[in-house]
Amino acid sequence: MAVQTTTAPGRFTFLQVSVALQTLTLFLQATSAGLLLSTSYGEALHGVGARVMYGASMLYVLAAILAWKPGGGSPRPVLYSSGFLVLASVQVVLGIAHMPALHVPLGVLMFGLSVLDLGRVLSGVLGVAPLRRTP
């Protein structure tokens, strides 16, 4: 029997924090990409940021699994987080291959999707009812 857990009002879950961290690291990657073009230390900063972003994506997968299995939540965040990890893997490969024509648009897409996902996971904390389809 699965037990549904809820958080106290005003408290953030591990899943919410991990999505926020992933979104923040993606934003910092965009910032360091600009520094990559304009400073001598930008390449090192962008490389370190890539590792941190990849770690944040793995943390999101872990948080989604923990929210799903023991917490009795929906498996949907596991699919979202796994998709982000696949996109992050492709992003790393494209960055190493120096393919900015694909690397940059994928980074923009990842940031946009992460912001949307952050809004989804925070909607309950902020008191916003999720959109529902009517039959």
pLDDT for 26-62, tens place per residue?
999 999 999 988 999 999 999 999 999 999 999 999 9
Confirm if 116 and 26 have CB atoms less than 8 A apart.
no
Per-residue pLDDT tens digits of the chain, which is 135 residues long: 454 555 555 688 899 999 999 999 999 999 999 998 899 999 999 999 999 999 999 999 999 999 888 767 788 889 999 999 999 999 999 999 999 999 999 999 999 999 999 999 888 655 545 556 666
* DSSP code for 133: -
Give the pair of three-digit tokens for residue 29.
């990657």
- How far apart CA 58 and CA 49 sit, in angstroms, is 14
Q: What interhelical angle do 14-38 and 100-122 show, nearest 10?
A: 150
Q: What is the pTM for the complete model shown?
A: 0.81
